[in-house]
Amino acid sequence: MVAAIEAKKSSKKRKATLEEEVPPSFPEEVDLDMGTEDEGEELDDASDGEVDEFPEIDARSDTDDGDYAADGASAEGESEEDDEDDEESNDLSDEEEHHIFPKSKTIISDITGQPKRVYPEIEPDYDSDSSTEDTPNRVGNIPMHWYDDLPHVGYNIDGKKVLRPARGDELDNFLKTVEDPESWTSAFDTNTQMDKPLTPEELDIIRRLQENENPDANYDPYEPTIEWFTGKGKEEIMPLSAAPEPKRRWVPSKWEKQKVMKIVRAIRQGRILPNKPKTASAAPQFYPIWNDEPSNAPAPLPAPKPRLPGNAESYNPPEEYLPTEEERKKWEETDPEDRERDFLPQKYSALRLVPAYGQFIKQRFNRQLDLYLAPRVQRVKLQIDPESLIPKLPSPSSLRPFPLYRSLQIGHEAKRVRAVSVSPDGGWVVTGDEGGVVKLWEVMVGKEVRRWTFKSKVGAVEWCPRTDVSLFAVAIEDHIHFIIPPNLPAPILTASQNALAPANLPPAPSTPSPVKWTSVPAAQSSSDVPILTLNLPSSPEPPKQLVWHRKGDYLASVSEGQAGVWIHQVSRRHSQAPFKKVKGAVQLVLFHPSKPHFFVATQRYVRMYNLAEQTLLKTLTPGTRWISSMDVHPSGDHLIVGGYDKKLCWFDLELSDKPYKILRYHARALRSVAFHPTYPLFASSSDDGSIQVFHARVYNDLMTNPLIVPLKILRGHTVRDGLGVFALRWVPRQPWLVSAGADGQVSVWCS
């Protein structure tokens, strides 16, 4: 109470001082208009406050006066205030001559016996109101900027326009500033539409604002502290409450004692070690996270995310989400496990109509189960359908014809058949087995026409590719026999005889060759015995391969051991060993179909020589451990190499020394590979008893890779002693395959 009174008093004082400084010549309603018109509104508001405040004092004093005047009876109760008012009035009395208020008389109150000021009655006419004096216009307290663009500044009480008072031009203003020393402290008042000098208080406020001070002049930032409850004369002597102080304030706590005693007992019984050796000090202060081996375990999986609600979960879903009657029935009929969603969308007009969610507990439980028991499968980021990685291959049925079934089967008395060859016209097959039997038979009927029996096993048979002669070579022991098949037309028979046993023998080579050529004269020749025989240097095994050059004059033979590779020229009866020394054992040789190139396959490498220039062209590295078979594409640009380690390598000779493709599809070692001379086919045979047929289309365009499509696995040969199909040959002009196996069978596979 005291403080409030004090504060009131001080504020009154402040207002009084303000009033003191107000010059009486100025009207009470002070307004400021400084700066630009934009800010006018704010300033108006601010000025409104000012405007309100000044008359408030007046009003207060008025009402006070009124109170005193009206309620004479109640004045007694307020005697205390009156005392203070007296002080105030003393202050005010100094300025009475300046004040516009009517002068008061001091009288002695007959009730209290105290002096009392009495003011004359206020006549309620116009003169009495100071605010009504000489207001230049009466447009009212309106935002003046409404009329900025108009010639008038508002309307008077009669609804007439109040015109904007004339203002001097710029020159007048300038002259006025020059002449009038006070002009720079004046500001334009929009209400009165004229310049008004600022009051000293306003100037002081402006100065304070400029100096970043509190604009209130009476504000004292260093007021002395008032110690309200402990200060002098303000101490609190009486207690706030009359209740006696409780016992617990001075009696020690029983519960604390019990807790402490529990600990003490535990210490005594040794359950708690009071001075436990501090492990923290023994352990290293910082954990060396980099010293440990990084764990190989997969990173802990994040918990499965709950599905976010969609439109169907809404309490007011769109119509299309609401189930139809059939869907609802179907949903109800299906098992809860099989349901697509575990609720039915329902529509409510308002959220407050939505009942409690019946599935809540169950769903929460399931979610907990998910978190706890969910199979934490690491999701692979790359979701690639493995099917899409398989190259798009044309269907085999669109690549007909190719061999499909076994048409014929020719027995060889259960001896292994290692050698097979098909005549260039595609009508006859000659096969040789390990018992030394060479059979000649028809491809289509399989009837054996002629049989030759030799002493030792047949290493290779090869039909001469020439069409003007008909003969084939058989490799047995150290010999190569040349045989003319029976039933030949006379011109071909004569040509064959002349090719092998000409009447005039070519001159013997100047240097003696280890290869001896012996022939039967054409007159005594028949198809029963070889017409020409070559005696090679002795070797434990028969030559394992015979290869004719495409022109049918040169024949290359490959033998085991040092005898190695021989190239025999039939027309000149000359044999030569093209390689003095070859690194590794030569497995196979092959003539290039169009160029004077010669392929030599050792165990691991295929070397390509130019026979005309006698240079090594390139060395192909198939990457197989042991090359078993090799064939060159009829175009001469591609080579396939089969290995005993189940691999088949396709070389693009133009492309690289490395295989273009490595195919590994046979379960056992490859034994033979062969390109078809005309059809885009090749086949491979293996010790697993199967023959696999491939489509191999080669493009002339160097940019297009060869297309290799697996077509057919031909099974039928039985594996005997771990050996399967030894040799494969295609029938020229037909997509037929002739295969010879270790089970003594020769099969013809037809399309």
Partner 1 sequence: MASASTSEITHPVVFTTQTPYPLPSQKFMIPATWKRYQLSQLVNKALSLPKPIPFEFLVRGEVLRGTLAEWCAEKGVGEEETLEIEYFESIMPPQRMSSLPHEDWVSSISCQIPGYFLTASYDGAIRTFDYSQKLLHTVLAHTAPVSSIAVVPSDSPDSQLIASASHDLTARLTRVDLSPTAGPSKAQTLASLHLHTAPLSSVAANASGSHILTSSWDGLIGLWDTSIPGTDEVPAEETAGGDRKKRRKVAEDDDAARPKRKAPTAVLKSHTARVSRVVFGRDGAAAHAYSCGFDSTVRTWDVENGVCTGTITASSKPFLDIALSQDGATALAASTDRTVCQYDLRASTSSATTPSVASLAHPATPSSIAVPQPGSASAHQLVTGAYDGVVRLWDLRSTKAAVAAFKAWEGGKGKDEGPKKVLSVDWARGMVGVGGEGGVEVWKVGEGERVPIAGSA
Point out which residues bind partner 1 (CB under 8 A).
400-401, 404-409, 411, 414, 425, 427, 444-447, 449, 486-487, 489-494, 497, 521-523, 718, 733-736, 743-745, 750-751
Find the shortest distance in angstroms from Cβ 306 to partner 1.
48
- C-beta of 137 vs 527, nearer to partner 1: 527
Residues 147, 153, 159, CA angle at the centre, nearest 5°?
Answer: 115
Extract the tokens encoding 318: 């769109």
Which residues fall within 8 angstroms of residue 622, CB to CB, at 6 or more apart? 604, 605, 606, 641, 643, 647, 649, 651, 659, 662
Q: What gap in Å lies between CA 15 and CA 12, rounded to an integer?
A: 5
- C-beta of 380 vs 523, nearer to partner 1: 523
The total number of residues shown for the chain amounts to: 751
Q: Where are the alpha helices (DSSP H) in 588-743?
A: none
**Cα dihedral sign for 714, 720, 726, 731?**
negative
Q: What gap in Å lies between CA 196 and CA 186, rounded to an integer?
A: 5
- C-beta of 325 vs 721, nearer to partner 1: 721
Pick the closest to residue 525 from 590, 569, 475, 481 (CA basis): 481
Enter the DSSP assignment of 90.
Answer: H
- C-beta of 215 vs 486, nearer to partner 1: 486
Extract the tokens encoding 526: 């028949």
Q: What gap in Å lies between CA 114 and CA 22, rounded to an integer?
A: 32
- C-beta of 497 vs 685, nearer to partner 1: 497
Find the shortest distance in angstroms from Cβ 612 to partner 1.
36
- C-beta of 408 vs 669, nearer to partner 1: 408
Residue 729 Cα to chain centre, angstroms: 53
- C-beta of 102 vs 411, nearer to partner 1: 411
CB 47 within 8 A of CB 55: no
What is the DSSP pairing of strand 105-108 with strand 115-118?
antiparallel
CB 740 within 8 A of CB 726: yes
- C-beta of 402 vs 591, nearer to partner 1: 402
- C-beta of 497 vs 628, nearer to partner 1: 497
- C-beta of 277 vs 489, nearer to partner 1: 489
**Cα dihedral sign for 687, 693, 695, 698?**
positive
Residue 428 Cα to chain centre, angstroms: 64
CB 602 within 8 A of CB 583: yes
Find the shortest distance in angstroms from Cβ 745 to partner 1.
6
For 665, the enclosing helix (H) or strand (E) is: none
- C-beta of 121 vs 468, nearer to partner 1: 468
CB 48 within 8 A of CB 56: no
Find the shortest distance in angstroms from Cβ 491 to partner 1.
8
- C-beta of 138 vs 400, nearer to partner 1: 400
- Read off the amino acid at residue 229: F
- C-beta of 486 vs 540, nearer to partner 1: 486
Find the shortest distance in angstroms from Cβ 746 to partner 1.
11
- C-beta of 554 vs 726, nearer to partner 1: 726
What is the DSSP pairing of strand 615-620 with strand 681-686?
unpaired
- C-beta of 322 vs 444, nearer to partner 1: 444
CB 451 within 8 A of CB 432: no
Alpha carbon dihedral 408, 414, 416, 421, in 10-degree steps, equals -30
CB 732 within 8 A of CB 428: no
Find the shortest distance in angstroms from Cβ 397 to partner 1.
12
CB 119 within 8 A of CB 96: no
Q: What gap in Å lies between CA 635 and CA 630, rounded to an integer?
A: 15
Q: What gap in Å lies between CA 637 and CA 93, rounded to an integer?
A: 130
**Cα dihedral sign for 282, 287, 290, 293?**
positive
C-beta neighbour count of 748 within 10 angstroms? 25
Q: What gap in Å lies between CA 638 and CA 651, rounded to an integer?
A: 6
Extract the tokens encoding 349: 């007009």
Find the shortest distance in angstroms from Cβ 710 to partner 1.
19
Find the shortest distance in angstroms from Cβ 401 to partner 1.
4
Find the shortest distance in angstroms from Cβ 468 to partner 1.
12
Find the shortest distance in angstroms from Cβ 735 to partner 1.
7
Which residues fall within 8 angstroms of residue 590, CB to CB, at 6 or more apart? 547, 598, 599, 601, 630, 631, 632
Find the shortest distance in angstroms from Cβ 494 to partner 1.
6
Find the shortest distance in angstroms from Cβ 470 to partner 1.
10
Find the shortest distance in angstroms from Cβ 489 to partner 1.
4
Residues 200, 205, 210, CA angle at the centre, nearest 5°?
Answer: 125
- C-beta of 368 vs 494, nearer to partner 1: 494
Enter the DSSP assignment of 723.
Answer: B
Find the shortest distance in angstroms from Cβ 544 to partner 1.
26
- C-beta of 135 vs 409, nearer to partner 1: 409
HSE-up of residue 696 (Cα within 13 Å, Cβ side):
28
Q: What gap in Å lies between CA 748 and CA 751, rounded to an integer?
A: 10
- C-beta of 147 vs 441, nearer to partner 1: 441
Q: What gap in Å lies between CA 220 and CA 618, rounded to an integer?
A: 107
Query: String of b and e for 467-495 (b: at least 16 CB within 10 Å)?
Result: eebbbbbbbbbbbbbbbbbeebeeebbeb
Find the shortest distance in angstroms from Cβ 722 to partner 1.
18
Find the shortest distance in angstroms from Cβ 466 to partner 1.
15
Find the shortest distance in angstroms from Cβ 414 to partner 1.
7
Extract the tokens encoding 407: 């048409």
